[in-house]
Chain A
Amino acid sequence: MWAVRMEKITKRFGPVVANDAVDFEVAPAEIHCLLGENGAGKTTLMRILFGLYRKDAGEIYVDGKPVSFSGPRDAIAHGIGMVHQHFMLAGRLTVTENIVAGAEPRRGVLLDYAKAREMVREVSERYGLKVDPDAHVESISVGQQQRVEILKALLRGAKVLILDEPTAVLAPQEVGDLFDIMRRLKEGGTTIIFITHKLKETAAISDRVTVLRDGRRVATMNTADASPADLAELMVGRQIVPPARKGHSPDGKVVLELQNVSVRGGLGAGARTGGAGGKARLNNVSLQVRSGEILGIAGVEGNGQLELEEVIVGLRKPTSGRVLLNGRDITRLGPRGIRDMGVACIPSDRLRRGIVDSFSVAQNLILGEQTSAPFAASGILQPRKIVEHAAKIVNMFDVRTASLDQPVGSLSGGNQQKLVVGRELSRGPNLIVAAQPTRGLDIGATDYIHRQLLAMREQGKAILLISAELDEVRALSDRIAVMYEGQIVALRPAEEFTERDLGLLMAGQGVGVAS
């Protein structure tokens, strides 16, 4: 008997059919991957199962019995729990308070904190999910916050746990920890539905996999029987060939140069990343990026990449050292001046830094250019030029949008990123700072952005690629610099690193491996 069976589920949003008669079955105590590109209908299907959306047609059975959920409360009562992509936690409250909120033990009208704490400790021990019950949620890492969300679901008696792209927010070693937790939960009898678009993760963790494409189920199979190439093709609907990279000419002129740049903690644009004041976030970083090359910065996130990005784009002043662009000192220039010198920036935090989500597609496409010709003349915006420009970029970069007046917030993550990439690359830059350019994107969109970056390289642009995805850095870069704790611990031509070298260096163990 299936733990969950969904039969002929259909869900429409206006004219869009998000789920088209989808069948989906999960066996008890299995880890089942729900694989598909962004917009394939994975999250919609699971939100229906969790009672957040109402289905237009179809039946749902839990443990063989037909059910009808009018909200998450009903789903939780039937033992279904969901951890969303964006956590729903109260930062100022402690881990314990967050976990018991809504089902809290009381003494009179007050929270019985001691008992709550005991409940949390008990659940967290049973499943081996280590958390500090008294820590404030805003002060713990994203990986820890995710555990809090999982514990929240388990405490409410979840036997079927839905994880919506749980690895998107995690650093590589945290992904390993999450997988360990998932395996333990499975051994304890919990059924896990794991939403993802990453093939490696599917292969690493799941027992079975269901592939969705354009709102339809295209396959369900044992993971062991499926090769990554098969899955990719099922998911995208066409074959994916990695883009070719033409030879590297190492003698382009130096476009960007960092000389002994250091950043110490304290207040600044990136201060929200936390950490003790006075600690070096960037330690004596020197590097050069030449025209016609991609320099990849590899490293586990949080090792100074954000500070590096912010220093180069002018959001943060280094405590010492200089930044030169085409030989000119831009260390104290600020974002406006640096942009005007032909630097394009794809920010690592797209939602926070890259777009204004309530602005339209057309408005977002002039962000950063709102005072420059041809979009403005003597301070007056030129709507016709703005719309022409938007139509061109949307077309060239394949941004899927209903209209140019659509608020960008209503676009999918992949299309938002294509918009940002399109905007930045079309500025005619001579330096491109691409930070996590494909984070959260599916195979199709990732492939597209990779090709765009390589095309820029062919045109002789200098590109600094900052990415936590090792595969991406290796596939695109001419040279690779590895960052660890704010320092560049190795910088060599890409072909001189093996994957193992890079892994060790990123983990801080590779110093002296080879030189």
Chain B
Amino acid sequence: MGTREGDLSRGPAARVVRRAAGWLARPGVSDIAYSAVAVLLALVIGAILIAASGYSVIDAYANLFDGAFGSIYNLANTLMMATPLLFTGLSVAVAFQCGLFNVGAEGQLYVGGLASAVVVLVLGPAVPGVVRVLLALVAGALAGAVLAAGPGYMKARLGAHEVITTIMLNYVGILLTTFLVKTYLKEPGPVDQTPLLPVGARLPELIPGTRVSWGIVLGVAAVVAVDYILRRTSVGYEIQAVGRNAAAAEYAGVNVPGRIVLAMVMSGAIAGLAGSSVVMGTLYRFITNFSPGYGFTGIAVAVLARNKPWGVLPAALLFGMLQSGGMSMQLFARIPADLMTLVQGIVILFVAAPALASMFLARSRFGARTGGRG
């Protein structure tokens, strides 16, 4: 790394980084622009790291881009990877609008996924497929909502911190579903999983022959709905008022405990649907421990989206892209996909810690001082 460090602080790429960082540190930059520049900045730093590790940057990013968008199949893959993150990111963002940090999306996703699988399997072929799918979605949302309502109630009435309670309930959600599958629903074989869902009772493919399902459409619909509720309804106004200043909301006559519980219920329902979308649209069955941490990555997605419902859409797509593109980068260019996980991390660092951007700026203070406007 020794000589490469010189590159980091002096090369042309570094100049770009510094420019961008300086721009980020300016007050009054809009959220969208901020996140967009943070992403670009992270990609530039990613490029420096790829070069520093001895790989070709062009090779890497060409493969990344191709893997993410190069063909209909690849694009579908990106969307498929983005689908659960769209739900979990939205779930975390909704709770945050009420000042709550729902770290329990992972557990809520598991109970939601299993509830959907159970409804489909229990109802059997006598019930029309569409009805089974709809009921399964409702069940998934309900299960997630129930698991989240507990922490909401405990927060509102007893002051128990939701971060603690939701984290703990993650274990309950994950282990309870594992237990139920192993004990009652296990398909014979080495893997702890339910039988396959019948073809007629799945979320259908959005683009035939690819892996992206109608789940992503559902996710976009959820974004639209949540955005409308928050911006245009009295309930949404009250949820935000509680999140921003609960004491003032209480003085103004808002039912603060009620709104806290409602926000958690909404958040949990959306996280439950994340599970449903994977189980019914990607795996076509419930497999124990199927989630690679969608619930937790949802937190990162929400951070990048700055907790705005509409922001979740591009943020989830970006993460889906880095994952599907990273895979083909590894496959075809033999560059570790971990580097893209690193890029994800850097994006979050920049978005979550504006001070970091200012740090880059501090180094170029001198230039700013002599050059007038910095």
Q: Which residues of A contact B (CB under 8 A)?
A: 269, 313, 315, 334-340, 345, 347, 349, 352-359, 363, 366-368, 370-371, 376, 379-381, 383
Contacts and interface: CB of A to CB of B under 8 A. Distances in A.
Contact of A336 (B241, B247, B253): B253
Contacts of B237: 363, 366, 370, 381
B336 to A, nearest CB: 39
Contacts of B255: 336
A336 B251 CA distance: 9
A167 to B, nearest CB: 25
Contacts of B233: 376, 379-381
Interface in B221-255: 231-235, 237-238, 240-241, 244-245, 247-255
Given A339-B253, A347-B251, A352 B245 contact: yes
Contacts of B245: 352, 355-357
A335 B248 contact: no
Contacts of A340: 253
Interface residues of B, number: 20
Nearest to A345: B251
Q: Which 7 A-B pairs have the closest CB atoms?
A: A336-B253, A368-B252, A335-B253, A353-B251, A356-B245, A371-B234, A376-B234
Chain B interface SS verdict (over half): helix
Given A335-B252, A371-B234, 20 more contacts: A335-B250, A335-B251, A339-B253, A352-B247, A352-B248, A353-B247, A353-B248, A353-B251, A354-B248, A356-B240, A356-B241, A366-B237, A367-B241, A367-B248, A368-B253, A370-B241, A379-B233, A380-B232, A381-B237, A383-B232
Contact of A356 (B231, B244, B253): B244
Given A335-B253, A339-B253, A363-B237, A356 B232 contact: no
A354 B241 contact: no
A381 B232 contact: yes
17 contacts: A335-B250, A335-B252, A345-B251, A353-B248, A355-B245, A356-B244, A357-B244, A359-B240, A363-B237, A366-B237, A367-B249, A367-B252, A370-B238, A371-B234, A376-B233, A381-B231, A381-B233
Interface of B: 231-235, 237-238, 240-241, 244-245, 247-255
Contacts of A366: 237
A349 B250 CA distance: 13
Contacts of B240: 356, 359
Given A336-B255, A367-B241, A356 B249 contact: yes
A61 B241 CA distance: 47
Contacts of B251: 313, 315, 335, 345, 347, 353-354, 368
Nearest to B365: A70
Nearest to A353: B251
Contacts of A380: 232-234
A315 B250 contact: yes
A381 B234 contact: yes
A357 B255 CA distance: 19
A340 B234 CA distance: 16
B215 to A, nearest CB: 29
A340 B254 CA distance: 12
B244 A359 contact: yes
A165 B252 CA distance: 29
